[in-house]
Each structure stands twice: as structure tokens, then as C-alpha cells.
């Protein structure tokens, strides 16, 4: 039987998993070697969070599904991640905007969960320290690009405008948006960027409604496992 606990662990696990998969697309494509290593490390952290969260979700569900079944054997409509994390990487500015908004959200959320008890609190207590690095990395780049050349400023502004609508979904049914804004707005100000207006707020990820880009992402992530069911290293 599914429960609220299962749904919550699944949603957070899916967020981390899909964010990791997108970030891993930068591997061997980043603008410099240090950045390549940094993005791969961030992807690895997110994948580690996803594995812990999905394993826990599987235990709560009690149907014998583990992390692999949940990651590889579900279809689009069964994933509960927010649409923000599945958006294509775009240019480097879009990737950094996504990372900044998502990592700060994770920081706020994990800090809150870590104050509870049980396995979810334990995972959150570990993950919160990792996400602090992710948020700090994205902050450095947002400021560097926003407060950089005219071209980098234009593209960073364009990136946050593009991503902003998708951030609303992070706070559905929660009161964490205030804490998130309190961290994000000073970064945008430092970066000499204009905070986008609230308007269109796409939604549906938590109910299994996803964007057009999500199917191809899953196809790439899942095809080896599905082509060779039960294969082991």
C-alpha cells in the first residue's frame, strides 16, 4: 500500500535522480576541466541522494521494489519529480540557474527534514551538507556571469527568466518559499540581475505530468537496464 511517507520519499528521490541525470549530461562537455569535475561531482552527490531516497521509498512501499526497479522500470507518468529538474540543460547559464534554484530549495527542505527523526531525517542530515556546496557553486557562477560582461549578463538574466516559472512547483503545499526567496534574492542582487516577476506557474510533475523533454531523458537513462533485464556487472 502506498502511503504519504512513500510518496514523499519517492518525490524527493525522483527530484534528485532526474537532476543527477541532467547534470551528468555535462560530463566531458563543460567549459573547462575543473568545471567538468565539479559538475560530475555534483551529479554524483545527487545520484547518491536519489539512491538512498528511492531505496527508502521501496522499503516503505513494501512491494519488493528497490532503487533499480524504481529508477529503471517506471514510465513517465509514474515519476513524481518537479518539472524544473527535467528541463533541458540549455546553455551554461540555464544550467546554473536551475542548479541555484534547486540546490537552495534542497538546502531549505533538507535542513527542515533533518530536524525530524527516522531514516528520512538521517538522509537529509547528510544531504544538507552536500547541497550547501552545490548552492555555493551555483552562486559563484551566477554572480560571475550576472556581474560579468554585457553578453554574460544578458544570458544569465535570460536564463533566470526562463527557469523562474518552474520554481513555483517546488513550493506547492509548503510554506518554504519565503526562506527560499530570502536566500535566492540576495544572490540575484549581487549578480546585478533583475528578479523575475511571478506569473505563469507550470505544474503537474508531482502528479506524473511531465514536459516533452522528459521522455527522451528516461529513454537514455533506462535503456541499458531494459535491454538487458537482470544483467549484473
CB of 122 to another protein, least distance (A): 3
- Per-residue exposure over 12-25, b if at least 16 CB sit within 10 Å of its own CB, e if not: bbbbbbbbbbbbbe
Nearer to another protein (CB atom), residue 21 or residue 49 = 49
Q: How far is the CB of 20 from another protein (least distance, A)?
A: 8
Judged by beta carbon, residue 207 or residue 232, the one nearer another protein is: 232
Give the helix/strand (H/E) hosting 89.
none
Q: At what angle do helices 119-146 and 92-114 cross, to 10 degrees?
A: 150
- Answer for the pair 58, 1: CB distance below 8 angstroms, yes or no: no
Q: Is 224 exposed, middle or buried (0-12, 13-18, 19+ CB in 10 A)?
A: exposed
Residues that bind another protein (CB under 8 A): 34, 37-42, 44-49, 51-52, 119, 121-123, 125-127, 129-130, 132-133, 136-137
Closest CB to another protein among residues 35, 76: 35
Burial class (CB in 10 A: 0-12, 13-18, 19+), 86: buried
Q: How far apart are CA 104 and CA 138, in angstroms?
A: 9
Cβ proximity to another protein: between 131 and 157 the closer is 131
Measured CA to CA, the distance from residue 47 to residue 16 in angstroms comes to 6
Shortest distance (Å) from residue 41 CB to another protein: 4
Does residue 208 come out as left (phi exceeding 0), alpha (psi in the -120 to 50 range) or beta?
left
Least distance (Å) from another protein to the CB of residue 104?
15
The distance of closest approach from Cβ of residue 13 to another protein in the complex, given in angstroms and rounded to an integer, is 11
Q: State which residue, 133 or 211, has the beta carbon closest to another protein.
A: 133
User: Are 102 and 87 a contacting pair, CB within 8 Å?
Assistant: no
What's the closest the beta carbon of residue 224 comes to another protein, in angstroms? 18
Distance CA 203, CA 43 (A): 24
Give the shortest CB-38-to-another protein separation in angstroms: 4
Q: Which is nearer to another protein, 8 or 41 (CB)?
A: 41
Output 20 or 170, the one with its CB closest to another protein.
20
Amino acid at each position: 500500500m502506498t502511503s504519504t511517507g512513500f510518496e514523499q520519499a519517492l518525490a524527493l528521490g525522483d527530484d534528485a535522480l532526474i537532476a543527477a541525470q541532467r547534470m551528468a549530461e555535462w560530463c566531458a562537455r563543460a567549459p573547462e576541466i575543473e568545471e567538468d569535475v565539479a559538475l560530475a561531482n555534483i551529479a554524483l552527490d545527487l545520484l547518491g541522494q536519489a539512491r538512498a531516497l528511492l531505496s527508502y521509498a521501496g522499503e516503505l512501499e513494501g512491494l519488493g521494489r528497490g532503487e533499480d526497479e524504481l529508477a529503471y522500470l517506471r514510465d513517465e507518468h509514474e515519476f513524481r519529480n518537479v518539472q524544473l529538474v527535467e528541463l533541458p540543460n540549455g546553455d551554461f547559464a540555464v544550467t546554473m540557474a536551475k542548479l541555484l534554484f534547486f540546490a537552495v530549495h534542497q538546502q531549505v527542505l533538507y535542513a527542515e527534514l533533518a530536524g525530524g527523526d527516522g531514516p528520512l531525517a538521517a538522509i537529509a542530515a547528510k544531504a544538507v551538507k552536500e547541497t550547501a556546496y552545490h548552492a555555493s557553486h551555483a552562486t559563484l557562477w551566477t554572480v560571475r556571469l550576472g556581474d560579468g560582461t554585457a553578453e554574460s549578463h544578458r544570458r544569465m538574466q535570460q536564463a533566470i527568466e526562463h527557469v523562474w516559472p518552474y520554481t513555483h512547483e517546488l513550493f506547492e503545499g509548503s510554506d518554504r518559499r519565503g526562506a527560499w526567496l530570502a536566500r535566492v534574492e540576495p544572490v540575484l542582487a549581487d549578480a546585478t540581475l533583475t528578479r523575475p516577476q511571478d506569473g505563469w506557474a507550470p505544474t503537474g510533475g508531482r502528479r506524473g505530468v511531465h514536459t516533452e523533454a522528459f521522455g527522451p531523458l528516461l529513454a537514455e537513462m533506462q535503456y541499458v537496464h531494459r535491454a538487458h533485464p537482470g544483467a549484473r556487472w
